[in-house]
Amino acid sequence: MKNSAIRAALLAFALAAAAHAQEPPAVTAPAVRQPLSYAEAQQLLLTRSDRLGAATRGVESARLRRQAMEGLGGPSVAVTGMAYHYSAHADISLDPARHAISGILDMLPPPLGAAIGDRLPQLPGSLGLQREASRASASVSLLWPIYVGGLGDAVRGELDALAEEAEADASATRDSQQTLLVQRYFGAQLAARAAALRAEALAGVQEHADAAERMLRAGVISELERLQAQAALADARQQARKARDEADLAATALARTLRSPAPLRPTNALFVHSQPLGTLQEFIDTAQRQHPGLAKVDAKRRQAGALHDAQEALRRPQVLGFGMHELATRGKPNWIAGVAVRYTLWDSVDRDLMAAATQKKIEQADLAEQQARSDIALLVEKNWLALEHARAHYLAQQAQEDLARELVRLRSAALREGTGTPLELIDARLNLAKVQTERAQTAHQYVQALAALLESTGQADEFERYMAQADIQIPTDAP
């Protein structure tokens, strides 16, 4: 009993000395980072993401193309102007005329023919002509497709469907980018908490390693126990340094995702809901209504239907109105107006097979929709189960954390009373940091599962609302 009291007194003296003579921290503090809430991060993502910008430009392009075709099938008026200069050269042979005159003279009496022939001028063998001038003309023309079998409506319908497909793709891109933001934002938050826990554990290990040095000099513990404490300290330093580097890397990933020149520090904590968010069927029903993939499949079906209508329109007759009026500065201008009817009696393209091909496209879209609905339901179920498993696991880990805290308390009391060793307390502290880190990882899994579930149901925009409703918050700093 007397030896135990002496041992406890020496131990208390060593711990007090360690508290005043603790070595400088082995792990440097992280660089100061700019605080950032999740709402602020979301706004930065919407304004700075290149992928979102590209998706938005695609939607705008599709809409403008559709607006450009609004008047398809209406009249078209064109003005044509022409100005030209010409030079014409021609050689005309006069031999036929000379032969004809000789024949006429031969038919006259010789004295008369000779007298007339002597008086006629001699014609050359050929005559050269040249004409050079400048001309200008202008006209206005009109072409009006009066009836083309519904081809214009088919084209506009396809462009409408293409715009809807672009919007569905943009919605899917927006949802995936928000899920990526959740991964980067709360990944940085998890790494920061792990680094804080490791730094706190290192401080405790450092304190007890220093105490072990003094206890060895006082003859309370053996050299082996001191070496064990030093080995634990070296490992704690390495783990703290690793956690700090991982926290820096996660913060850098978040900053680059948001194209921020300064390091960022997330301010919204990891969270867990103690109660289920809803039934599986409720989430499946929401996904069947809102998932952007289904909107894209529907747009594909509409495109196939418009293409089928266009093929059918080519079977029908086409009626065109036309007109042309010459713009003359002098004289009476020329003009023409009329109606043209065109009906294809035979075509080298088999229209029946083309119509059958477009009908198969419609059937393909119908089958693709059925498969998409099945795949989406399965994906929702997978994400919902992952969410529930993470929630249950986090709640179950409370007992492990309580046990780890109690073990730290008991080891501390045993060390003060001289019945325990510094290594036992070091192990207890490291175990508590490990359990707390694992709990934070489980909370992170819960947050990621929630983001994936909301994306698979077309509700990625609702993440912030669910975050605000969480009744369990996991702070970044170690307790």
Chain CA centroid to CA 257, Å: 13
Per-residue pLDDT of the chain (479 residues; tens, 9 = 90+): 444 443 444 444 344 444 443 443 444 444 567 889 999 999 999 898 889 999 999 999 999 998 998 888 888 888 888 887 878 777 777 667 666 666 666 666 666 556 565 556 666 667 677 778 787 888 899 888 888 888 888 989 999 999 999 999 999 999 999 999 999 999 999 999 999 888 988 888 888 788 778 877 877 778 888 888 888 889 889 989 999 999 999 999 999 999 988 888 899 999 999 999 999 999 999 999 999 999 999 999 999 999 899 888 888 898 989 888 888 666 788 888 999 898 888 888 888 888 889 899 899 999 999 999 999 999 999 999 999 999 999 999 999 999 999 999 998 898 788 787 777 888 888 899 899 999 999 999 999 999 999 999 999 999 999 999 999 998 776 55
2-70+156-312+367-474 CATH fold? Outer membrane efflux proteins (OEP) (1.20.1600)
101 with 120: CB under 8 angstroms?
yes
Chain CA centroid to CA 449, Å: 20
Which secondary-structure segment (H or E) carries 68?
helix 50-68
**Residue 269 to residue 127: CA distance in whole angstroms:** 105
Find where tokens 């993440």 sit.
Answer: 463
**Residue 191 to residue 472: CA distance in whole angstroms:** 19
451 with 462: CB under 8 angstroms?
no
* Helix axes of 422-456 and 151-217: crossing angle, nearest 10 degrees: 180
Of 278, 279, 258, the residue nearest 34 (C-alpha): 258
Contacts of 195 (CB under 8 A, 6+ apart): 30, 240, 243, 244, 246, 247
442 with 390: CB under 8 angstroms?
yes
What pLDDT is recorded for position 400?
A: 94
Domain boundaries, the chain: 2-70+156-312+367-474
Chain CA centroid to CA 105, Å: 99
pLDDT digits (tens, 9 = 90+) for 259-314: 988 888 899 999 999 999 999 999 999 999 999 999 999 999 999 999 899 888 88
Q: Name the residue type at position 182.
A: V
Concatenated DSSP letters of 137-170: EEEEEEEEEEE-TTHHHHHHHHHHHHHHHHHHHH
**Residue 4 to residue 417: CA distance in whole angstroms:** 8
Residue 243 tokens, joined: 């956690």
The CA distances from residue 218 to 8, 20, 224, 229, in Å, are 12, 17, 15, 16
What pLDDT is recorded for position 113?
A: 55
178 with 353: CB under 8 angstroms?
no
Instruction: Look up the pTM and report it.
Output: 0.77
Q: Name the residue type at position 77.
A: V
Q: What ranges in 258-350 are assigned the alpha helix state H?
A: 280-290, 292-313
Instruction: Count CB atoms within 10 A of the CB of residue 67.
Output: 11
Rg (CA), the chain: 46
What pLDDT is recorded for position 104?
A: 65
Of 221, 203, 232, 252, the residue nearest 29 (C-alpha): 203
Of 172, 158, 163, the residue nearest 58 (C-alpha): 163
Q: Name the residue type at position 87.
A: S
Of 252, 259, 269, the residue nearest 189 (C-alpha): 269
**Residue 225 to residue 422: CA distance in whole angstroms:** 8
33 with 262: CB under 8 angstroms?
yes
What pLDDT is recorded for position 132?
A: 82
**Residue 278 to residue 397: CA distance in whole angstroms:** 23
